[in-house]
Chains A and B, each alone.
Chain A
Amino acid sequence: MIIESISVKGFKSLNNVTFEPGNVNVFIGANGAGKSTILEAIGVLSAAMTDRVDNSSLDRKGIRLSTPSLYKSSFRDTKKNPTIGFQIQWKDGQDQITYDVNLNNPNDDSAWRYHSEALYRNQEKLWGRSGNSQVQYDNRVGMLMLAQEVQLGIIKASAEQLKDYAIYQPSTPILRGISPDKYQATPLGLCGGRLAEAIEELLHTDEDGDMKFGDLYIDEVLELVDWAANFSVAAPKKSSINSAVPTSRRVIEFQDKFMREKDRFTAYDASEGSLYVLFLLCLAMHEKSPNVFAVDNFDQAMNPRLARATTRLFCEIIKKRNKTAFITTHNPLVLDGLKLNDPAVRLFTVERSKNDGTAQIKRIEVTDELISLDQPLSRLWINGRLGGVPNLL
């Protein structure tokens, strides 16, 4: 699934936006500008197309539940959209596929109602429904649950790639294995649960007898976790764990460079930033992780140079595996890890319009003029050239 464009109408602050993503999509903007809302909108779209939209389907995708009426845009000066609308276009081989949906969100906790829904291949309508349709479909479930195999054909497989979309937002206690993840999922919980198990699934020995972590040599991962001489996953042992700490079934064990080889300690005592790095690499490389996903606050707990190096490696993996990632960040050095002259990597600013408060999404492209300024993206961002900063001194 190579997503070509996503449009959102009438969802929270996204009154009417369209953007064209690449493989790695980075959203920057002031606090409250609507970055997370974009990640949520993609989640609602994913639920609408592949499942249904209700509290439990949104919850599974890591979408913060709020009062139903707050989902709908309600700006004072704009014409209120009667429905919430989404459109996604993607390439399936040579074909351009378009999925279009309009939903009514109820004022109570029940499922959102489908107002209209349609699927097109190169503008030819393959499937659709609206109030005027002859076939009466359940107005609380979406296309992939309703349409027949023959109508969707091979498009079904590519549409399903959006099914597991979720917003990941790891938190330190969960990565450390000391609190449970309330958003559990395989291979990784949305808040960092199951990290030890996912790491274990990625660790293997290649035909030359070298240790690998997914596509990477373990030594390449240790570049980013540079205080560790090695890491592995094992059953919890009394010696390495404080008995007061509740733990999961498996624990990550680190060997510190400066300690004796047999001394190990667990994620409970490991550096926070390293756990985030391992989490992101698992997410990018695990065979069972979603093809399309989002990470809110990508750079949490990372030193600026670690954030930059992690971003660089993350982009390489996502591109190589042809996945699509949507990420938000507040760390300027994340931007310096982006190779923006590669169209697979895209940077967007998100800002609220001064006129009506609606969120606007702009793609920042690198032109020769900008390159000739000879300034890194981090500095251009902080100095205001890219937008996406609050007006503070």
Chain B
Amino acid sequence: MKTIGFVCEGPRDSDMLEAVIRHILNEDITPLYLQPEASLDGENGNGWKGVWTWCLKNGNTLDQYMQGAIPKIDMIIIQMDGDVFRKEREVHCACYADECAASGEVFPLNCKIEDCPVVIPCGQHEAGISGCVEYLQNLLLSYFPGQYIPVCLIPCDSTDAWIVAAFDDFEDSETIADPWNNIISKKKDYHGIRVPGHKKTKTVYDKFIPVVCQNWESVKNRCSQAAYFDHAISAVL
């Protein structure tokens, strides 16, 4: 059985990716849920900040990290939602390096500078889904100088978009902002599945995931990152 490490924004994301991998491979896997330690203020331990922090802290030593315990890790999957690209200034720090003395000196998540020159949406590079994916992949993968390069997945606008793509025939599944709040949990149920209190709980997500697997072909057609993920999994494992 393959051992796969998940560096994800949250447990719902790894739940989804894990199920999709089982579906693609048609065999079981051993998942490891990798997470950086939280900083003292409770930040940087989860969500997109946690994913970024994990890359910073483990990138240089990833080969040893993967091989250093038995069973070895066969694959590492890093996931960060595409909404980070449009919503978070910190990831665009490097785009404004010329205008900021602190840029490059401090990890952007720890930067306390008051007059940060970054403006979002950032106009320094190509926008759109492909621009966003490429930018965030380059940002995260820049931390891995070793032999092994993780699979870096940037679902747009978030992993939840795959649910929308599995249930609804929208042309723009990837460009709908915040699909959880704007589509899935907007009403009390989504295609007959109740979403109590609009909350993204495991119970509710576990009802959506089988439909994503069932309609995986449609999801791949509607979401470029689903297609990329399918390709990456099939090619490597």
A interface, CB within 8 angstroms of B:
208, 210-211, 217-220, 222-223, 226, 229, 336, 338-341, 366, 370-380
Contacts and interface: CB of A to CB of B under 8 A. Distances in A.
A144 B235 CA distance: 75
Given A208-B188, A219-B202, A375 B40 contact: yes
Residue picked from B40, B42, B45, B196, most chain A C-beta under 10 Å: B40
Interface of B: 37-42, 45, 110, 188, 194, 196-197, 199, 201-204
25 contacts: A208-B196, A210-B194, A210-B196, A211-B196, A217-B196, A217-B197, A217-B199, A218-B203, A219-B199, A219-B201, A219-B204, A222-B202, A223-B202, A336-B45, A340-B42, A341-B41, A366-B40, A366-B41, A371-B40, A372-B110, A373-B40, A374-B110, A376-B37, A376-B40, A378-B37
Contact of B41 (A339, A378, A380): A339
A136 to B, nearest CB: 55
A372 B194 CA distance: 43
Nearest to A339: B42
Contacts of A341: 40-42
Contact of B197 (A210, A222, A223, A226): A210
A169 B199 CA distance: 32
Nearest to B198: A217
B197 A377 contact: no
B138 to A, nearest CB: 24
Contacts of B41: 339-341, 366, 371
B154 to A, nearest CB: 26
A375 B57 CA distance: 12
A22 to B, nearest CB: 15
Contacts, number: 61
A318 B168 CA distance: 41
Nearest to B203: A219
Contacts of B40: 340-341, 366, 370-371, 373, 375-377, 380
A376 B201 contact: no
A335 to B, nearest CB: 10
Given A210-B194, A336-B45, A374-B110, A217 B201 contact: yes
A371 B39 CA distance: 7
A220 B45 CA distance: 20
Q: By DSSP majority rule, is chain B's interface helix, strand, loop, or mixed? A: loop
Task: Kindly list the 3 A-B residue pairs having the minimum CB-CB distance in the complex, ordered from nearest.
Answer: A219-B201, A210-B196, A376-B37
A372 B202 CA distance: 34
A336 B38 contact: yes
A341 B196 CA distance: 31
A220 B201 contact: yes
B38 A222 contact: no
Given A222-B202, A336-B37, A380-B40, 14 more contacts: A210-B194, A210-B196, A210-B197, A220-B201, A222-B201, A223-B201, A223-B202, A226-B202, A339-B42, A341-B40, A371-B41, A375-B37, A375-B40, A376-B45
A218 to B, nearest CB: 8
A376 B57 CA distance: 14
A133 to B, nearest CB: 51
A233 B188 CA distance: 27
A371 B43 CA distance: 10
A372 B111 CA distance: 11
A212 B66 CA distance: 42
B211 to A, nearest CB: 18
Contacts of A370: 40
Contacts of A366: 40-41
A226 B14 CA distance: 15
Contacts of B194: 210
Nearest to B57: A374
Nearest to A309: B11
Contacts of A229: 203
Q: With a 10 A CB-CB cut-off, give which of A218, A372, A373, A376 has the most chain B CB atoms.
A: A376
A311 to B, nearest CB: 11
Contacts of B38: 336, 376
A343 to B, nearest CB: 13
Given A208-B188, A226-B202, A336-B45, A219 B196 contact: yes
A346 to B, nearest CB: 14
Contacts of B196: 208, 210-211, 217-219
A226 B40 CA distance: 27
A229 B207 CA distance: 12
Nearest to B39: A374
A78 B217 CA distance: 78
Nearest to B109: A374
